[in-house]
Chains A and B, each alone.
Chain A
Amino acid sequence: DAGVIQSPRHEVTEMGQEVTLRCKPISGHNSLFWYRQTMMRGLELLIYFNNNVPIDDSGMPEDRFSAKMPNASFSTLKIQPSEPRDSAVYFCASSLQAPFDTIYFGEGSWLTVV
């Protein structure tokens, strides 16, 4: 079975550019998470969707970040405009039903903003 699929795996972009990260959750999973991981801040929950509806976006750093889930098989995380401090690994993860089911992580999107 395919796991959580993220794209791109690596992206290097210039400050001020728009960045779009994409995620395809595991088929049948109802919960989708976006996490950001940095050395300084560890693993942070950015936003969580349940049945395509954003439930908790309190972790989204600021208005430059936005996330959508137009259907059960696709989600995007957009940063506009990007800044060097956004450089991090962004993980998408999904589970059958939070909070009690196992979360399955994608391999991450490694973002560098120069």
Chain B
Amino acid sequence: AQSVTQPDIHITVSEGASLELRCNYSYGATPYLFWYVQSPGQGLQLLLKYFSGDTLVQGIKGFEAEFKRSQSSFNLRKPSVHWSDAAEYFCAVGADNDMRFGAGTRLTVKP
């Protein structure tokens, strides 16, 4: 089965700074790749997804992610972080008829 790793448990950035959250996956072929965000007390919401085509994917709230096959990575980026972006972010891999989530990265935004 596929697996997904998010190496960073917790990241702190200053408001207005750029952000990159890392995600690596393990699967024999190219899986379906997703980034979700979870605000406190809420379920998960889709930010963006990659299936095929252009490896740079645009999502909601100004987020983007780049698929790099050679590195088995799907890192999430945002050029300028807002205080409202503080949340937990999950990378997910869809393959073999199911969906697996990474452990999540908690983002703290400093004023």
- State whether these chains interact: yes
A residues with a Cβ closer than 8 A to B are 4, 33, 35, 42-43, 45, 48, 50, 55-56, 91, 93, 95, 98-100, 102-108
B residues with a Cβ closer than 8 A to A are 31-32, 34, 36, 42-46, 49, 51, 90, 92, 94-104
Which one, B34, B49, B95, B98, contacts A45 given CB within 8 A? B98
* B contact residues around A35 at 8 Å (CB): 101
* B contact residues around A106 at 8 Å (CB): 43
Are A45 and B43 in touch, CB under 8 angstroms? no
Cα–Cα, bound, A102→B33 (Å): 10
Provided the pairs A98-B94, A99-B31, A100-B94 are in contact, do residues A107 and B99 lie with their beta carbons within 8 angstroms? no
Residue of B nearest to A55 (CB): B97
Interface centre among A33, A43, A95 (most CB of B within 10 A): A43
Which one, B36, B45, B99, contacts A99 given CB within 8 A? B99
Are B101 and A42 in touch, CB under 8 angstroms? yes
Residue of A nearest to B9 (CB): A42
Q: How far is the CB of B21 from chain A (nearest CB, A)?
A: 15
**10 A-B contacts (beta carbon < 8 Å):** A43-B101, A43-B104, A45-B98, A56-B97, A91-B43, A98-B99, A100-B51, A102-B49, A103-B92, A108-B42
Q: How far is the CB of B23 from chain A (nearest CB, A)?
A: 14
Cα–Cα, bound, A21→B96 (Å): 27
Are A105 and B97 in touch, CB under 8 angstroms? no
Q: How far is the CB of A36 from chain B (nearest CB, A)?
A: 11
Residue of A nearest to B94 (CB): A99
* A contact residues around B101 at 8 Å (CB): 35, 42-43, 45
Residue of A nearest to B49 (CB): A102
Cα–Cα, bound, A104→B36 (Å): 10
Which one, B43, B97, B99, contacts A108 given CB within 8 A? B43
Residue of A nearest to B98 (CB): A48
* B contact residues around A55 at 8 Å (CB): 97-98
